[in-house]
A and B are shown apart, each in its own frame.
Chain A
Amino acid sequence: MDSGESELIQRWQGGEAAAFEEIVRRWQQPIGRFLYRLTGSGEAARDLAQEVFLRVYRSGSRYRENGAFGRWIYRIALNVARDAARRSPPATLPLTTQEVTARTSPAEALCQQKEADQIVAQLVAELPEPLRSVLVLRHYEQMSFEEIARLSSTPASTLKSRFAAALQQLRTRLQALGLRPEENET
């Protein structure tokens, strides 16, 4: 975390509303992206981001500045997403063996790409929680297993096993839906 952010946090904790609003502007996209990966839904990500920043605002005085604001806010986001998943688990994509047909025109290729993106986002959201969070944090947030271990208070070796299981489950589901990862060359 840069010194500017540290100063911003101090100003916010001193009661400066503009500092909090700057923190929101800085973090809303990374947190929104993270929540989208966890939920597979843009709408849910927006609602949950609202909840995350509300919790941050309400518990700001309890945060002790030690250069780990990112870890703190990601942990809040993870807890918010877990609570939401407990309240309403994501709908499961129907398992079909229908192949995603090859299309040729650019418009059709774009549609196919969008379709594949949605399927992947949905499949990630359907993974069991411990597998989903480690996959999202490692792949999309590009955190190391050691960083994830500190964030989630779970040993790195356990996280590595979960990560392997997440990739395997995704592979199986993608194949069942007709998307063949081994043939997907870009």
Chain B
Amino acid sequence: MNCSHVRELLPVLLYGDVSAADKIHLEKHVDECAACRREFVALQGVRRLLGVAAPPNVQVDLARLYRASAVQAGRRQRDWRRVALLAAGVAALVAIMAFLRFEAHFQSHQLVLRWGAVSAADTSPSIPAPTASGVGSSLLVSRQAQGLEDEVQLLSKLIHALADDLQEQDRQHRLGAAELLTRLRAIEQQSKRRYVALEKEIDTLYRLSQKGE
């Protein structure tokens, strides 16, 4: 082992994170090499200095934590409601467009918007018109209308399901908020009781000290 390799391993040697075989080699090198020994002693000093810093006492404020949690839950609920409303709006728009048979496309450098049933004049001459009889054609239109109606009904069901889901979430959040409020009240009562007991103790101590004097 050369000095450069040994110095890389000195920190892990210091904390005992080397294998038994490596430990023997490293310690032997440190004993024999004055420069590496100085380095090791300096690292031991750093470790000692690190060990003396005293941490403060940390106390979590549970009442504040429950309040913050209720605020966050309310914010999340509002966000969800916005997303759901947006989704419902988009779904409704798609349904209306489907119902109106809305079309948008570019034709000869122009944006063409079209809705309603396609008239015979609008059909492209390159596509041959269906050669069905009058009865067959009306059946086709009726089937398409039925299909659209089914789609609209499906979308409507989806929107209602989404609304029900939202109402359920709303109910759950309200229950959660009520529970939090109960807990906060209990903490408040507990604090008041402790405060009164503490005041009594202080009063007793004061009286005792007065008697002593």
- A, B: real partners: yes
Name A residues whose Cβ lies closer than 8 Å to a Cβ of B: 17, 21, 24, 28-29, 31-33, 35-37, 42, 45-46, 49-50, 53-54, 57-58, 113, 116-118, 120-121, 124, 135, 138-140, 144-145, 160-161, 163-164, 167-168, 170-171, 174, 179-186
Q: Are B41 and A182 in contact (CB under 8 A)?
A: yes
Residues of B contacting A57 with CB < 8 Å? 65, 69
| Bound complex: CA A31 to CA B57 (Å) | 11
Among candidates A21, A170, A180, residue contacting B50 with C-beta atoms closer than 8 Å: A170
| Bound complex: CA A54 to CA B46 (Å) | 35
How many Cβ-Cβ contacts under 8 Å join chain A to chain B? Answer: 119
Question: Which 8 residue pairs of A and B lie closest in terms of their CB atoms, listed nearest first?
Answer: A32-B58, A181-B45, A42-B56, A164-B11, A33-B55, A182-B42, A117-B53, A181-B46
Contact residues of A: prevailing secondary structure = helix
Q: Are B61 and A50 in contact (CB under 8 A)?
A: yes
Residues of A contacting B69 with CB < 8 Å? 54, 57-58
Residue of B with least CB distance to A182:
B42
Contact residues of B: prevailing secondary structure = helix
Give chain B interface residues in 1-34, CB to chain A under 8 Å: 8, 10-12, 14-15, 17
| Cβ contacts B36-50/A at 8 Å (1 or 0 each) | 001001111111111
Q: Are B52 and A113 in contact (CB under 8 A)?
A: yes
Residues of B contacting A116 with CB < 8 Å? 49, 52
| Bound complex: CA A37 to CA B12 (Å) | 20
Given A42-B58, A140-B50, A180-B45, 19 extra CB contacts under 8 A: A32-B58, A36-B58, A46-B56, A46-B59, A49-B58, A50-B61, A50-B68, A54-B72, A57-B65, A58-B69, A120-B50, A139-B15, A144-B17, A163-B15, A164-B10, A167-B14, A171-B45, A181-B42, A182-B42
Residue of B with least CB distance to A179:
B49
The answer to whether the Cβ of B104 comes within 8 Å of any Cβ in the partner chain is: no
The answer to whether the Cβ of B112 comes within 8 Å of any Cβ in the partner chain is: no
The answer to whether the Cβ of B114 comes within 8 Å of any Cβ in the partner chain is: no
Residues of A contacting B42 with CB < 8 Å? 171, 181-182
| Bound complex: CA A24 to CA B52 (Å) | 26
Interface centre among B49, B61, B69 (most CB of A within 10 A): B49
| Bound complex: CA A168 to CA B208 (Å) | 58
| Cβ contacts B172-212/A at 8 Å (1 or 0 each) | 00000001000100000000000000000000000000000
| Bound complex: CA A42 to CA B55 (Å) | 8
Q: Are A24 and B49 in contact (CB under 8 A)?
A: no
The answer to whether the Cβ of B62 comes within 8 Å of any Cβ in the partner chain is: yes
The answer to whether the Cβ of B54 comes within 8 Å of any Cβ in the partner chain is: yes
Residue of A with least CB distance to B51:
A139
Residue of B with least CB distance to A160:
B12
